[in-house]
Chains A and B, each alone.
Chain A
């Protein structure tokens, strides 16, 4: 939903970043307003996963220039846990398995941290169980997964559903979903995408990081950005994703070659 008057939630300005002294982002600009769904597409190594992890505060990435403001505050100055509590959510491409930590306890601790920040009451174990059982429906998840260790022994599809369940509980203002479609079969993709659609409101925004058009068949983006060599090369509507699907990424290379000097690609 594009509304020019909607408040800006996230504003990325000329963002430069590196990992292990290797520059990866070379000046990313992106403005996200409430109610919008953005898709960032690009080849492996184009910097799109780096962008998502950097926004969530992954310690391996160093910002070397530019700024990110989140609802007017300097996002980059916040510790990762504060970003999360204030409403920035990253859905992981590879959700991490944490043996011995109960999924239910993990979800409760995380949810209560966010609720405190929102000025809501913390939920005790009983109230939380009621909430979590209601939210399970968003991703059609079996309650048995609550009793297990976080993501341990989950299939690829179950892990992604667990990510969307966390999103449903944390009620983020900006949800960044990093290759949420990877490793999903068609049924799982529909369930996960259905969850994302249900959670999208005029007050929040979604940033989808994806390689393929197929996710965008089930979640309709307002904007599609094509990323290459650490910057956004082109921005358009959902038709840009279809064009990419038709023409592949080769034209991106041609466009990139026209820019000089060509930055080094990172694998």
Chain B
């Protein structure tokens, strides 16, 4: 039986892939620069097999939930922004549905402006998804060369091929309001591709909150590229609120110039499958990167976080903490790659992964992946997987706190360490309630 069922599974996968490519062909941007970028990505995608567990990068991540999603593009938003919590003061919200203009009717805060179409072509030529494909033709820029050896992930190519529009913004100086980018596929079915490009000029400062929600059999696939000029600061939060069959794939390609600071905090829960791939390149070292992530899985959910940080020059810093809570028959995957080549002397990198296993059927795969060639560096990593500590529980009980409350208090504490680093604007999305919600009481 096994021998027979295998080809059927392979056929299902490749037919989903070719259906997807066919769907993508019909959705080409009227902008020639973006259309060309879409076609390059689609070509690269066609040359790649669909992810499968035979590939090292997908070894622990079953894409079955993806194959259950219809390959049609998500129709224009049927639910208006009315279903979203009201944006708080000090927040500029852009709603992304893959069709409408997210900037329509919005006055961007001082310091943020859309990048003119005329400038897009050159920018897109050297973005992460195109690197390695056309480098010879475009005269490889420094960071493109540095990305060599780091192929764009499948999810990034998928978003680049399928996104018929791009939100491209240039940031100058200190932007006071938080920029909030929101997508909500609600219960619609299909694929919602989103492509975002942020250029932070030297010394620019921005707080960015990305929120993705879905409650139906949909795929939200996001490619966000951000370039931080010298001394720029980007504080970046991502909240992924999924329900049921929804799938989230996010490729986050960040380039940092020396003296820049990038802080990324993510919290995801509820997706049938989620995969975040923050890929940070310190293209000449000398920058600081802070990564915080929290996953919670229940039922048969799969949450995957594949991060990559690469130092291409000396004196770069990384401080990374990944946390996961796996319950039910959920599965959590973490792969933290850190590359410290010879040029990256005096790099200081710390990576820690802490996971809680709350059920016998849940599973956690956590893997640090440090490649260190430079000899004068400080690189530390650690990983723990444990249950809720019985001594902690007993301590709380011995102070009159009932066992169930004690567990909740401990879980809240565990999550709080990551959640408190989200931008303040994240509060209205109730990330704590999201990660604490029992499976049955999810919205």
Contacts and interface: CB of A to CB of B under 8 A. Distances in A.
B391 A106 contact: no
B392 A96 contact: yes
Contact of A100 (B390, B391, B406, B416): B416
Contacts of A84: 397-400
A248 interface: no
A57 B400 contact: no
B391 A80 contact: no
Interface stretch (B176-184, B244-252, B262-270, B407-415): B407-415
Given A81-B403, A113-B401, A98 B412 contact: no
Interface string A90-130: 10100110111100001001100110010000000000000
Contacts of A71: none
A149 interface: yes
A109 B412 CA distance: 14
Contacts of A81: 397-403, 406
A110 B413 contact: no
A80 B398 contact: yes
Of the four ranges (under 10, 10 to 19, 20 to 34, 35 or more), the interface on chain B belongs to: 20 to 34
Contacts of A57: 394, 397-398
A85 to B, nearest CB: 4
A95 B395 contact: yes
**Interface secondary structure of B, over-half rule:** helix
Interface residues of A, number: 29
Nearest to A105: B409
B417 interface: yes
Contacts of A92: 395, 398
A79 B403 contact: yes
Nearest to B389: A96
Nearest to B390: A59
Contact of A110 (B401, B412, B414, B417): B401
B58 to A, nearest CB: 32
A106 B394 contact: no
Contacts of A106: 396, 399, 409
A56 B398 CA distance: 6
B327 to A, nearest CB: 18
B409 A113 contact: no
A166 interface: yes
A227 interface: no
Contacts of A90: 398
Contacts of B413: 98-101, 149
B75 to A, nearest CB: 42
A82 to B, nearest CB: 8
A114 B402 CA distance: 12
A164 to B, nearest CB: 13
Nearest to A112: B400
A113 B396 contact: no
Contacts of A83: 398
Contacts of B389: 96
A170 interface: yes
B431 to A, nearest CB: 14
Contact of A113 (B394, B400, B412, B416): B400
Contacts of A95: 395
A49 to B, nearest CB: 14
B173 to A, nearest CB: 34
Nearest to A58: B394
B417 A99 contact: yes
Interface string A222-258: 0000000000000000000000000000000000000
Contacts of B414: 99-100
B369 to A, nearest CB: 26
A89 B413 CA distance: 24
A125 to B, nearest CB: 16
Contacts of B409: 101, 106, 109
Contacts of A110: 399-401
B413 to A, nearest CB: 3
Interface in B128-152: none
Contacts of B398: 56-57, 80-81, 83-84, 89-90, 92
B412 A59 contact: no
A114 B412 CA distance: 22
B407 to A, nearest CB: 12
Q: Which of B397, B400, B401, B406 has the most CB of A within 10 A?
A: B400
Q: Which of B391, B415, B417 has the most CB of A within 10 A?
A: B391
A99 B409 CA distance: 11
Interface in A43-61: 56-60
Contacts of B402: 79, 81
Contacts of B390: 59-60
Contacts of B405: 109
18 contacts: A56-B398, A81-B398, A81-B399, A81-B401, A96-B394, A98-B410, A99-B414, A101-B409, A101-B412, A106-B399, A109-B401, A109-B405, A109-B409, A110-B400, A113-B399, A113-B401, A117-B400, A170-B400
Given A92-B398, A100-B412, 12 more contacts: A81-B399, A81-B401, A81-B403, A84-B397, A95-B395, A96-B391, A96-B395, A99-B414, A106-B396, A109-B401, A113-B399, A113-B400
Interface of A: 56-60, 79-81, 83-85, 89-90, 92, 95-96, 98-101, 106, 109-110, 113-114, 117, 149, 166, 170
Q: Which 9 A-B pairs have the closest CB atoms?
A: A100-B413, A113-B400, A84-B400, A101-B413, A110-B399, A96-B395, A80-B397, A85-B400, A100-B416
